[in-house]
């Protein structure tokens, strides 16, 4: 009898087969552009589509196939395609599934480069990109048109942190034959099981928790449906979405510790967020595990944890100049994009300029809690509050 192992054990005990006589744990790094065929017949029958063999470095190596198989396993999917960044993976979905005359729906809180891509598709490619309230839930049915092909979701939005009702959105979409893609980067596929809530495509920015080292850019698309994977794989091939072997190895190396790191980020972030909630400088803590966060009840229902990323709204009496001074005064928190690495980060956002629907109020500042001792991070924030 085989019993399904826990995810943590699967992250350590991989299906990787080392070369005969060399039973080491790490996956081998294979570099290649050319892959040599044994004869013309095998060259002519070579298929980039089904991964039954190797045809060209751009279409996959044993290293990238190993990483793809492991990522599919983590998300409980069947197929996985790698891209050179998270944003490239997002673009691959749009180019695979949208054509001139089609319509795509994106949440108002969508990852900003995804919004920028939507703007480009609308301006130059004859696709309409429309935006919806991330808390719309089943109400999205009213926005779906006969030419709507794709709905992007993000859970939660990575700046304003609203948690969408994915089962309700997916049901409305599937009733009308529309596909749903989920940017599942915040939860790394650990705290939210994307296929359980009904999405068709899971996108991951492996740049974040999977790598964990602040040293790799990579993305992935995970699916369960063979035909859908083939549509994505065609775009993957046409756009030349190859990834470097050393980068793929770095992500493979990060996977064994990913869940433990994620849990450490989660615990520390909740501790810092709880402390911030008690401070008079802060009006609202936008962390899905806290009641003030829009969609908190959905988070409680659908998620098993949280990451290291959350935002706060400062009290409205503080101007942008004051909160900028606060961010500049932090010493352990560095100012920079991305997250999922060991170092804590802090970014102030001009969110009203990004979103038409954002209500007036205090300044939004986003924290990524790294792997430092949270007591030191709290002391850093407390010291920086004096700069307000
Ligand atoms: C970082 C990120 C991406 C893009 O990943 P890159 O590898 O930086 O291109 C996409 N979505 C979310 C939510 C992200 O945080």
Q: What pLDDT digit, counting tens, does each position of 349-380 carry? A: 998 888 878 888 899 999 999 999 999 999 99
Helix (H, G, I), strand (E, B) or coil at 365: strand
Do the Cβ atoms of 313 and 345 come closer than 8 Å? no
Where do the structural domains in the chain lie, given as residue ranges? 40-252, 258-385
Q: What span, in angstroms and rounded, lies between the C-alpha atoms of 283 and 365?
A: 12
Strand-by-strand arrangement of the 364-368 sheet? 282-286, 309-314, 364-368, 345-349
Whole-model pTM: value is 0.96
210 ligand 1 Cβ < 6 A? no
Inter-helix orientation angle 245-277/374-385, to 10°: 60
- Cα–Cα separations (whole angstroms), residue 268 to 254, 263, 273: 20, 9, 9
Token digits of residue 324: 């900028």
183 ligand 1 Cβ < 6 A? yes
What does the DSSP assignment read for 13-36? Answer: S----PPTT---SSPP----SB--
Do the Cβ atoms of 148 and 105 come closer than 8 Å? yes
Q: What pLDDT digit, counting tens, does each position of 235-283 carry? A: 999 999 999 999 999 999 999 999 999 999 999 999 999 999 999 999 9
118 Cβ contact list (under 8 Å, min separation 6): 104, 106, 110, 129
Nearest CA to ligand 1 atom 10: 86
User: In sequence order, which ranges of 176-305 are alpha helices (DSSP H)?
Assistant: 226-239, 245-277, 296-302
Q: What span, in angstroms and rounded, lies between the C-alpha atoms of 49 and 32?
A: 18
**pLDDT-based confidence at residue 18 (cuts at 50, 70, 90):** confident
**pLDDT-based confidence at residue 388 (cuts at 50, 70, 90):** very high
Give 86 Cα–ligand 1 centroid separation in angstroms.
5
Q: What pLDDT digit, counting tens, does each position of 333-344 carry? A: 999 999 999 999
40-252 and 258-385 agree in CATH topology: no
pLDDT for 13 beyond 60:
yes
Mutate to test the pocket of ligand 1, among 185, 244, 247 (most ligand atoms within 8 A of CB): 185
Nearest CA to ligand 1 atom 2: 205
Mean pLDDT over 186-202 rounds to 97
86 ligand 1 Cβ < 6 A? yes
211 ligand 1 Cβ < 6 A? no
Report pLDDT for 2: 59
Average pLDDT, the chain: 95
338 ligand 1 Cβ < 6 A? yes
Closest CA to 358 of 291, 279, 281, 284: 284
Give 274 Cα–ligand 1 centroid separation in angstroms.
26
Token digits of residue 319: 């101007």
Helix (H) or strand (E) holding 311: strand 309-314
Q: Which atom number of ligand 1 is nearest to the Cα of residue 337?
A: 1
Q: What pLDDT digit, counting tens, does each position of 43-96 carry? A: 888 777 778 889 999 999 999 999 999 999 999 999 999 999 999 999 999 999
136 ligand 1 Cβ < 6 A? no
pLDDT for 228 beyond 80:
yes
Q: What pLDDT digit, counting tens, does each position of 149-174 carry? A: 999 999 999 999 999 999 999 999 99
Q: Which atom number of ligand 1 is nearest to the Cα of residue 87?
A: 9
Going by CATH, does the domain composed of 258-385 fall within 3.90.1150.10?
Answer: yes
85 ligand 1 Cβ < 6 A? yes
Beta bridge partners of 80: 222
117 ligand 1 Cβ < 6 A? no
Nearest CA to ligand 1 atom 4: 86
CATH number of 40-252: 3.40.640.10
Nearest CA to ligand 1 atom 11: 111
């Amino acid at each position: 009898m085989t019993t399904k192992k826990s995810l943590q054990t699967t992250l350590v005990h991989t299906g990787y087969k080392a070369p005969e006589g060399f039973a080491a744990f790490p996956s081998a790094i294979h570099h290649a552009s050319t892959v040599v065929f044994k004869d013309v017949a095998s060259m002519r029958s070579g298929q980039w589509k089904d991964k039954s063999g190797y045809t060209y470095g751009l279409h996959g190596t044993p290293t990238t196939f190993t990483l793809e198989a492991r990522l599919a396993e983590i998300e409980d999917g069947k197929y996985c395609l790698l891209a050179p960044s998270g944003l490239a993976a997002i673009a691959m979905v749009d180019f695979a599934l949208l054509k001139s005359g089609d319509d795509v729906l994106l949440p108002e809180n969508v990852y900003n480069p995804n919004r920028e891509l939507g703007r480009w598709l609308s301006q130059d490619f004859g696709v309409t990109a429309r935006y919806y309230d991330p808390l719309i839930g089943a109400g999205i049915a009213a926005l779906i048109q006969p030419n709507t092909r794709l709905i992007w979701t993000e859970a939660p939005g990575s700046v304003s942190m609203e948690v969408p009702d994915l089962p309700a959105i997916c049901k409305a979409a599937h009733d009308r034959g529309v596909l749903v893609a989920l940017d599942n980067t915040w939860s790394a596929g650990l705290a939210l099981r994307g296929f359980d809530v009904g999405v068709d495509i899971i996108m991951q920015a492996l740049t974040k928790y999977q790598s964990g080292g602040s040293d790799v850019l990579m993305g992935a698309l995970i699916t369960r449906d063979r035909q859908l994977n083939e549509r994505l794989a065609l775009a993957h091939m046409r756009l030349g979405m190859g990834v470097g072997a050393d980068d793929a190895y770095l992500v493979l190396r990060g996977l064994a510790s990913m869940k433990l790191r994620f849990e450490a980020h989660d615990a520390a972030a909740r501790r810092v967020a709880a402390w911030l909630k008690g401070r008079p400088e802060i009006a609202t803590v936008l962390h899905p595990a806290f009641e003030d966060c829009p969609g908190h009840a959905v988070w409680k229902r659908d998620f098993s944890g949280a990451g290291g990323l959350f935002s706060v709204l400062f009290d409205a009496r503080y101007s942008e100049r004051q909160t900028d001074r606060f961010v500049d005064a932090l010493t352990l928190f560095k100012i920079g994009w991305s997250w999922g690495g060991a170092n804590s980060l802090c970014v102030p956002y001009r969110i009203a300029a990004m979103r038409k629907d954002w209500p007036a109020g205090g300044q939004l500042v986003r924290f990524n809690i790294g792997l430092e001792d949270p007591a030191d991070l709290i002391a850093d924030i407390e010291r920086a509050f004096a700069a307000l």
